[in-house]
Amino acid sequence: MGDVIVGIHQPNFFPWFGYFLKIARSDEFVFLDDAQISNSSSYVNRTSININGKAKWLTVPIQKEHGRQAINKTKYLDTSWRIKVIKTLKMNYSTAQHYNENEEFIHKLINYSSNCISEFNIFTISEICKVLDLATSICSASSLSIDNTSTERLIAIIKSLNGNIYLSGSGGNKYQDIDLFESNFIKVQYNLLSHPRYNQAKTNTFITGLSILDFIFNIGIKNTKLFLNNSLLYN
């Protein structure tokens, strides 16, 4: 039996290229949809886009609860955010080379009717994976019924999927117990990449780390797939 690579990540809001590269490099990808939302900052309701040549947050308001708050129990504050997001994207990307051909697709994603942020993000990410021809098997942590916490929870998720390699974010060693992975016969790999460069509308200075939307509107689906395939070799 060969290696089984498992990637695990919170379901983010229109995440960046590296997120989709993590999915592409995984055999099994798990949305950590029942994780707690960070009190300081969270990518589950915001993403970075190009606004007038600078990286700015595109943030969707969510309902805040007292105490601990799981992603899959969190709802949007209202429904008007969809109109605002569509207007913001049009204002900042309408001159991008591939905006017109992808506008309808992105609008359909934004108009997905779920008011639950994890359901919305999982749907949009999954739909983008389809057009990028990513064949990775995807599931949600909440469906696995695993009660462990921290690194032990990641290990339990990986084992439940018969995995033996954990694909971690580049900064994962700051908060993960690497020795615990090794004692459970799980190898840790890191999702390293050399950020692709491409022509971005409304800026002469390349901006890294923007939403996958920046790729789709500027270079289109076909070239985004090419970048993903080329980046698979860099690890």
Angle subtended by helix axes 81-93 and 212-231, to nearest 10: 70
Locate 34 and state its tokens: 């029942």
- Could you give phi then psi for residue 9, rounded to 5 degrees? -160, 150
- Residue 165 contacts by C-beta under 8 Å, 6 or more apart in sequence? 3, 4, 5, 6, 186, 187, 188, 189
Tokens encoding 115? 């008011």
pLDDT tens, per residue, the chain with 235 residues: 689 999 999 999 999 999 999 999 999 999 999 999 876 668 999 999 999 999 999 999 999 887 788 999 999 999 999 999 999 999 999 999 999 999 999 999 999 999 999 999 999 999 999 999 999 999 999 999 898 788 999 999 999 999 999 999 876 666 688 899 999 999 999 999 999 999 999 999 999 999 999 999 999 999 999 999 998 875 5
The pLDDT assigned to 2 comes to 85
For the stretch 40-55, pLDDT in tens is 668 999 999 999 999 9
For residue 142, which amino acid is it? S
Render pLDDT for 166-215 as a digit per residue (tens, 0 to 9): 999 876 666 688 899 999 999 999 999 999 999 999 999 999 999 999 99
Spatial CA neighbour of 73 closest among 126, 35, 17, 129: 35
- At residue 89, the pLDDT reads 98
Cβ atoms of 31 and 122 closer than 8 Å? yes
- pLDDT recorded at residue 173: 65
pLDDT given at position 21 = 97
Tokens of 228: 């993903």
Asked if residues 199 and 94 have their Cβ atoms less than 8 Å apart, the reply is no
Q: Quick one: pLDDT at residue 124?
A: 98
Distance of CA 231 to the CA centre of its chain: 16
